[in-house]
Amino acid sequence: MTNHWADMQHCKAILVEGSNAAENHVMAMKWIRKAQENGAIIIHVDPRFTRTSAGADIFARIRPGADAAFLNAMINHILENKLYDQDYVETHTNALMIGNADFDFKDGLFSGYDEEGHKYKTDTWGYQLDGSGKPRHATSLDDPHCVFSTLRKFFARYTLEVGERMSGIPAAQIKLIAETMAKHRPGTILYALGMTQHTTAVQGIRAFTIFQLLLGNIGKPGGGVNALRGEPNVQGACDMAVLNNYMPGYLNYPVHTEPTLAAWTVNNGSLRRKYLVNTLKAFYGDAATAENEFCYAWLPKRNSAKDYSAYGIFESALAGNMKLLWIAGQNPAVSSPNLKLVFEALGNLETLVVQELWETETAAFWKRPGVDPKSVKTEVFLLPAAFFMEKQGTITNSGAMVQWRYKAVPPPGQAKPDGEIVDIVYRRVRDLLKDSTDPKDQIVKRAFWTYTTPEDVLREINGRALHDIPGTDLKAGTLASRIADLKADGSTSSGCWIYAGVFSKGENLSKRRDHRTDPGKLGLYPNFGWTWPNNMRVLYNRASCDRHGKPYPGSKPIVWWDEEAKRWTGYDVPDVPVITDGPNTPNGQRAFHMNAEGVARLFAAVYKDPEPASDDLWRDASYVPKDGPLPEMYEPVESPVENPMHPKVRNNPMLKYPRVGSIHQPIGTAKDFPYVLMTSTVAEHWCGGSTTRNNPWLNELMPEPVCEIPEVLGSKLSVKSGDWVKVSSARGEVEVKAVVTPRMQPLQIAGQQVIIVWMPYNWGFQGLSTGPSVNHLTIDAVDPGAGTQETKACLVNVVKVRDASARRSDPRGRRA
Ligand SMILES: Nc1nc2c(c(=O)[nH]1)N[C@H]1C(S)=C(S)[C@@H](COP(=O)(O)OP(=O)(O)OC[C@H]3O[C@@H](n4cnc5c(=O)[nH]c(N)nc54)[C@H](O)[C@@H]3O)O[C@H]1N2
Ligand SMILES: Nc1nc2c(c(=O)[nH]1)N[C@H]1C(S)=C(S)[C@@H](COP(=O)(O)OP(=O)(O)OC[C@H]3O[C@@H](n4cnc5c(=O)[nH]c(N)nc54)[C@H](O)[C@@H]3O)O[C@H]1N2
Ligand SMILES: [Mo]
């Protein structure tokens, strides 16, 4: 999220695309409704008519995976009709920078495509530089060489008619949505899995960013691009490096070509080095010294050719390259796509440890329906874990707000909080290694590990001074109260730099609950919980002001330059590199100061600032999507239509699929599997369902999985609601009841009728309510950059099995 939940009340328009907020983010709905009461227009773009659509002013039905076509057509409409915010675009984006003359896009490929290496060479994706290595600037957006002209040319292909042909949304409605968003500013975009579970996930979100930047909607109250995150603490988990390619705080995880800290620093800059040093001090304490590069050598290095994601893990296990897998708080035997591969992989392990509340499908995979337990050699341990109300600690929400939660009841039986389980296992392993002289065991033996409570862990994450630090009020042991307190020389330690300040003057700010203090009446509540970084609530808020530091008219003032006090000030923490560097200085114009250019990037250029990096300011190379600097429409891996834009490059050219051969990862075609399957969750169950399917009341509300089909398909197959159907894909088949409904409707795509069906993914063979898992059908192709699975679009066939009156043949769910 760039903004935060309560901020949505300030929106004048809200585009909800790829999210069913009413059923999955009920608290978001509270603020969406408030905006609506204030006159905001709510737009919902979705393949299925849900409770979110029912509350919207405009509902547009889209084909799964065709969002880029719709968004690009809207962007083109904004550009062609000059509906953009010219001052914002010139001041706060790279629109005026001169692009590399050799950059090109042809037949679905950006310049630099290396077919053999299966990657892009990005040397034409940059700017023309002046003598000092800075991008050259045009004086007008009409300059044919500036980034803005590149944009105009690129998006010109996406007329409203092309948008309609590929997405299924009528041209007039695309125009209406673009003009509504342009007229009602500031507006926001809310998204979730409908956008991300695709092999073009990153590109779709890039299109959001471009659209919002053109409208001048980033950095303002009521603006932004807001990801509605899923699992309660998914934000906190990502912050703490649950993502396999990051250290805590999104520092790139060291790879094998970076054997030393010095080598890592060349690639990541000295600012990030400072934070990595703080993390290493938190990991290794006194063992980490400047002389030994803070024990950097002890970190195992990633092999950049290997896939360490959940998919890579199962593929390693499948190949017999993994002995032990420890799964905590995840139920992949229901929630991962292409379950056949997952089950086979689990069966190839020697040991599986499952740390759980229940004996889930994952823990019970060895006795799943249709399998003889004797044939599975994997030894399974089930460690009983405490649920959220049985332990204390923090949860970080989508707005990066860290909030403390208290224990309400003790855990049952032998169940323990996850932190305690990890602590027990760690100490036991350290004891076992006591006499080891193997250098690789140092990482365990010398770890700085002294925790007794979750709050100790949060203090370690926050960071502290290790010595008295001259010239500051930091004495040995003082907790850091902001990021700027962290030092580069090893005199401070901080487990996760972005959390520095969650403690202030010894107080745990995540426990604050002041819901009254609200300067500016913006809903910021600065004394409620604590948000990273530095308790800032709206990211990029400097961009809410013009080049002179004055708030743009039309949106509520949030920060501004105070000429008398000679500093940035306002209701929120100003998002500027130096608080006293005013709008007449280069720093004062860097509203997007983490980008090397200092401005937002309509075109995601390859660029590194030539100025020597400083310890305190961002002067960094910027992130460039692997699959191109501008968003292009590519078809899902399994799609019933060709790609009329570039038939030879139908799918994302950076896609790798199948990764382990077509036996394990087959691709179905429309000839055998004519319908598009879209999957999602339901209001009444939670994800893989182990918690909710063990609750009789919820089971009564939503007793079993179904396949929802449009009326045209119902008539074609002579299927009524309640009849049994077999749904099959190239990977498996399941038998469920059909629900024939007007919520699903066919779409006309490129002159042909496309039928979309829907299934929930919340069932499996364990618990009080059992039923077949839809993930037997789904495809495990992933986005090349983000690694998200394409569980929103694959091809299936649907055939009638028997009438409603017949019973399901296997009540525990049919095996694929
Ligand atoms: N009650 C309840 N709440 C939950 C959860 C739960 O299981 N139950 N799960 C939590 C979790 S982990 C998450 S990640 C979030 C998920 O929150 P959402 O992302 O809202 O979850 P989904 O149900 O997957 O809904 C995505 C929406 O995108 C639509 N969609 C599918 N494909 C496309 C497409 O290609 N384009 C567009 N524009 N739309 C598409 C679907 O029809 C659906 O309405 O919810 C969280 N909240
Ligand atoms: N087809 C399809 N597949 C999908 C999706 C989809 O839309 N379509 N959505 C995807 C998404 S967004 C997500 S997030 C995943 C979710 O996939 P999972 O993470 O596998 O789903 P959950 O059911 O939330 O699993 C969490 C498990 O943790 C256990 N648990 C809960 N609290 C604790 C705790 O405090 N400690 C421990 N140790 N265990 C605990 C629960 O009992 C549960 O079994 O599914 C993905 N799979
Ligand atoms: Mo999720």
Domains along the chain?
1-232+537-633 (3.40.228.10), 245-304+450-510 (no CATH), 310-396+401-439 (3.40.50.740), 675-802 (2.40.40.20)
Distance from C-alpha of 339 to C-alpha of 731, rounded to nearest angstrom: 9
List, for residues 274-289, the tens digit of each pLDDT value: 999 999 999 999 999 9
- Residue at token pair 């689990």: 346
Phi, psi at 344, each rounded to 5°: -65, -40
Could you tell me the two tokens for 203?
């590109």
Q: How many angstroms separate the alpha carbon of residue 198 from the centre of ligand 3?
A: 14
Ligand 1 neighbours (beta carbon < 6 A): 17-20, 23-24, 45-48, 50, 62, 64-65, 67, 192-194, 230-231, 678, 680-681, 683, 685-687, 792
Res. 807: pLDDT tops 90: no
Res. 59: pLDDT tops 80: yes
Could you tell me the two tokens for 431?
């004891």
3-class secondary-structure state, position 138? coil
Q: How many angstroms separate the alpha carbon of residue 197 from the centre of ligand 1?
A: 9
Residue 469 pLDDT: 92
For ligand 1, pick from 26, 29, 46, 790 the residue to mutate: most ligand atoms within 8 Å of CB: 46
Q: What's the average model confidence in pLDDT over 221-234?
A: 96
Residue 473 pLDDT: 86
If you take atom 34 of ligand 2, which residue's CA is the nearest one? 387
Q: How many angstroms separate the alpha carbon of residue 195 from the centre of ligand 1?
A: 9
3-class secondary-structure state, position 439? helix
List, for residues 178-218, the tens digit of each pLDDT value: 999 999 999 999 999 999 999 999 999 999 999 999 999 99
Pairing assessment for the beta strands 393-396 and 379-384 based on DSSP bridges: unpaired
Distance from C-alpha of 339 to C-alpha of 761, rounded to nearest angstrom: 12
Q: Which of 170-174, 617-621, 761-765 has the lowest mean pLDDT?
A: 617-621
If you take atom 37 of ligand 2, which residue's CA is the nearest one? 329
3-class secondary-structure state, position 680? strand
Q: How many angstroms separate the alpha carbon of residue 21 from the centre of ligand 1?
A: 8
Residue 616 pLDDT: 63
List, for residues 695-717, the tens digit of each pLDDT value: 999 999 999 999 999 999 999 99
Phi, psi at 125, each rounded to 5°: -90, 20
List, for residues 124-159, the tens digit of each pLDDT value: 999 999 999 999 999 999 999 999 999 999 999 999
Q: How confident is residue 816, by pLDDT bands cut at 50, 70 and 90?
A: very low
Q: How many angstroms separate the alpha carbon of residue 681 from the centre of ligand 1?
A: 6
For ligand 2, pick from 357, 390, 682, 777 the residue to mutate: most ligand atoms within 8 Å of CB: 357
Res. 31: pLDDT tops 70: yes
- Say what the pTM is: 0.97
Identify which of 815, 810, 803, 745 has the alpha carbon closest to the alpha carbon of residue 773: 815
Please give the sequence-ordered ranges of beta strands (E in DSSP) within 642-790, or none if there are none: 675-680, 706-709, 724-728, 733-740, 747-749, 752-754, 756-760
What is the 8-class DSSP label of residue 574? -
DSSP H or E run through 204: helix 201-214
Identify which of 269, 415, 340, 311 has the alpha carbon closest to the alpha carbon of residue 783: 311
Looking at the CA of residue 681, tell me the nearest atom of ligand 2.
7
Indicate whether residue 357 lines ligand 2 (CB < 6 A): yes
Q: 311 forms bridges with which residues in the sheet?
A: none
CA angle 683, 790, 110 (to 5 degrees): 135
| CA distances for 682 relative to 114, 147, 361, 698, 762, angstroms | 42, 43, 19, 11, 8
Over the range 473-488, which residues count as b (16 or more CB within 10 Å of their CB) and which as e?
ebeeebbbbebebbbb
Q: How many angstroms separate the alpha carbon of residue 331 from the centre of ligand 2?
A: 6
Looking at the CA of residue 357, tell me the nearest atom of ligand 2.
42
Residue 266 pLDDT: 86
Residue 815 pLDDT: 41
CA angle 196, 202, 203 (to 5 degrees): 115
Q: How many angstroms separate the alpha carbon of residue 336 from the centre of ligand 2?
A: 9
List, for residues 454-509, the tens digit of each pLDDT value: 999 999 999 999 999 998 889 999 999 999 999 999 999 999 999 999 999 889 99
Helix axes 310-318, 339-347, angle to 10 degrees: 50
If you take atom 45 of ligand 2, which residue's CA is the nearest one? 335
Res. 424: pLDDT tops 70: yes
Q: How many angstroms separate the alpha carbon of residue 254 from the centre of ligand 1?
A: 33
Residue 609 pLDDT: 82
For ligand 1, pick from 16, 20, 638 the residue to mutate: most ligand atoms within 8 Å of CB: 20
What is the 8-class DSSP label of residue 243? S
Exposed/middle/buried for residue 653 (C-beta within 10 Å: 0-12, 13-18, 19+): buried
Res. 622: pLDDT tops 80: no
Dihedral (C-alpha) 716, 722, 728, 729: value to the nearest 10 degrees?
A: 80
Distance from C-alpha of 470 to C-alpha of 451, rounded to nearest angstrom: 29
Could you tell me the two tokens for 301?
């290095």
DSSP letters, 35-81, are HHHTT-EEEEEESS--HHHHT-SEEEE--TT-HHHHHHHHHHHHHHT
For ligand 1, pick from 193, 395, 695, 708 the residue to mutate: most ligand atoms within 8 Å of CB: 193
Q: How many angstroms separate the alpha carbon of residue 595 from the centre of ligand 2?
A: 34
Res. 413: pLDDT tops 60: yes
If you take atom 18 of ligand 2, which residue's CA is the nearest one? 330
Identify which of 269, 312, 368, 240 has the alpha carbon closest to the alpha carbon of residue 620: 269
Q: How many angstroms separate the alpha carbon of residue 334 from the centre of ligand 2?
A: 9
Indicate whether residue 680 lines ligand 2 (CB < 6 A): yes
Q: What's the average model confidence in pLDDT over 624-650?
A: 95
Which ligand sits closest to the CA of 24? Answer: 1
Could you tell me the two tokens for 349?
């392990």
Residue 594 pLDDT: 86
For ligand 1, pick from 5, 19, 744 the residue to mutate: most ligand atoms within 8 Å of CB: 19
Q: What's the average model confidence in pLDDT over 113-125?
A: 94
| CA distances for 138 relative to 57, 584, 592, angstroms | 41, 20, 20
